[in-house]
Amino acid sequence: MTDTNKNTSKKLWGGRFAGTTAASVEAFTASIQYDSRLFKYDIRGSIAHATMLAGQSILSSEELDAIVAGLTEIGKEIEAGTFDFKPELEDIHMNIEKALLDRIGPAGAKLHSARSRNDQVAVDFKMYLRDQCSQIIELLDGINIAFVVLARKYLGHIMPGYTHMQRAQPVQLAHHMLAYYEMFKRDKSRMIDCRKRMNLSPLGIGALAGTGLPVDREQVAKALDFDGVTANSMDTAGDRDFAIEFTSNCAMIQLHLSRLSEELVLWSGQEFSFVNISDKFCTGSSMMPQKKNPDIPELIRGKSGRVVGSLMSLLTLMKGLPLTYNRDLQEDKEPVFDAADTVSSSLSIMAELLDNLTFNTENMIKATQTGFMTATDLADYLVLKNVPFREAHGIVGRLVAYCLEKGCELEDLTVDELIQFSEAIDRDVFEVLSVEGSVNSRISTGGTGLLKVKEAVDEAEKQLGIV
């Protein structure tokens, strides 16, 4: 006769099954090799759930004590690396629950009352992602501090600004640095939004339809620092919007990092020689003794592929998935973990690299002296002398062609030569033809004039609390 009251099998259940699961199926369906990283959240969620069950008289206080003590001990063992994870128990939830059952007996078998793995995995994942958002927000502040420090340090230094990778107009180097500050600031606000939107507790929705047991979802939500509970049990069981939103934010961050990386790769090459990446952040070539390669920005640029790929995996995973929970959803974790790890390590090493970066300001200013970078200023000068802009554009275009023929820059022309192209030109024209004059005239809001950039640096320092 079999004892139906005792669970003596390797697993947590099995009543419905006549045979055991094939080893190949166990191996194929297991997720413990990657979802074990959710253990802290799983234990915290279970303690909050058990506490609520005790409050609702579903567990006695002795049973609750045994569960809390058992879970705490299991948590310590996992932390210490001494816990024996079993792939046949599939995932982190069942590994922990089975270990609890083996240690404390019948009380352990009551923990899963009014809970399914569907709400359990959702709560673990959300708690994990909340923490990841917070960590990435801190790292975004870190990289932005590096940009603002550079902007302050190089305030007043001028470089070419580019469109189409062609020299366009001179700008403050600090303005270029603060462009990245703005990008990562937006990334931060996206992470804050995402953290806030996901912060509703899924626990207590049952498998998909709610539960007839008298649960107190709000109490569990409060204990786990959620702002409230989710509204619809069916939506909750299959919702992964929060994971997609997080990974999309990660993709955007990595994309911003890749743009920066591309510029650092270009600027550190001999063709530009705008920047020195510290030796600490470069590697040599196995064959060419003279090489100093910008591997860090290159790798960060390359890693944008995997983060965007993770986002694509998730979007594809969710497309067409019927309500509510489907096992497909187990495939949500690896891309999210990989995106979070990649973005965190990239942000942190890039901030370090920026802390050790120096600019070759002489090469930068030198690069502004050729390429007719003040041509727009000359056109604007004519506009102020009442020449219609389109006409002014034509005049300056012809002047540039003349200079190209002559092999000189606009600044090298005499007033007499200039006047031949437009009567509106006067001696004061040379003020606008200088690079410095050009940059500092651009004091429109958001412009690169020293006055504006200085204000922007002050403001950024204030926002980051580094004054």
- Pick from 311, 329, 399, 453 the residue near ligand ARG by CB under 6 A: 329
How far apart are CB 223 and ligand ARG at their closest, in Å? 22
Contact stretch for ligand ARG (CB under 6 A) within 52-60, 139-147, 250-258, 325-333: 325-333
Please say which residue, 211 or 361, places its beta carbon nearer to ligand ARG. 211
- Pick from 7, 46, 118, 313 the residue near ligand ARG by CB under 6 A: 118
Q: Does residue 121 interact with ligand ARG by CB under 6 A?
A: yes
How far apart are CB 174 and ligand ARG at their closest, in Å? 47
Provide the H-helix boundaries in 199-332.
217-223, 233-238, 241-268, 295-318
Q: Does residue 205 interact with ligand ARG by CB under 6 A?
A: no
Please say which residue, 22 or 80, places its beta carbon nearer to ligand ARG. 22
Tell how far CA 278 is from the center of its chain.
25
CA distance 118 to 124: 10
Window 77 to 96, contacts with ligand ARG (CB under 6 A): 91
Contact stretch for ligand ARG (CB under 6 A) within 322-330, 378-386, 401-409, 426-434: 322-330
- Pick from 98, 110, 117, 301 the residue near ligand ARG by CB under 6 A: 117
Annotation says 256 is catalytic: no
Please say which residue, 74 or 392, places its beta carbon nearer to ligand ARG. 74
> Which residue in 41, 49, 189, 190 sits closest to 112, CA to CA?
49
How far apart are CB 4 and ligand ARG at their closest, in Å? 24
Tell how far CA 83 is from the center of its chain.
32
Please say which residue, 317 or 450, places its beta carbon nearer to ligand ARG. 317
Tell how far CA 285 is from the center of its chain.
31
Given 24, 57, 164, 444, which residue is catalytic?
A: 164
Given 9, 61, 278, 285, which residue is catalytic?
A: 285
3-state DSSP helix/strand/coil % of the chain, to nearest 5 = 65, 5, 30
Annotation says 313 is catalytic: no
Contact 292, 282 (CB under 8 A): yes
Q: How many residues does the chain have?
A: 467
Q: Does residue 327 interact with ligand ARG by CB under 6 A?
A: yes
Phi then psi dihedrals of residue 84, to 5 deg = -95, 95
Radius of gyration (Cα) for the chain, nearest Å?
31
Q: Does residue 325 interact with ligand ARG by CB under 6 A?
A: yes
For the four alpha carbons of 342, 345, 349 and 352, in that order, the dihedral sign comes to positive
Q: Does residue 339 interact with ligand ARG by CB under 6 A?
A: no
Q: Does residue 381 interact with ligand ARG by CB under 6 A?
A: no
* Full 3-state SS string of 297-341: HHHHHHHHHHHHHHHHHHHHHHCCCCCCCCHHHHHHHHHHHHHHH
Q: Does residue 31 interact with ligand ARG by CB under 6 A?
A: yes
How far apart are CB 294 and ligand ARG at their closest, in Å? 39
CA distance 268 to 360: 10
Please say which residue, 117 or 190, places its beta carbon nearer to ligand ARG. 117
Q: What is the DSSP letter of 293?
A: B
So which residues are the catalytic ones?
164, 285
Binding site residues, ligand ARG, CB under 6 A = 31, 91, 117-118, 121, 325, 327, 329-330
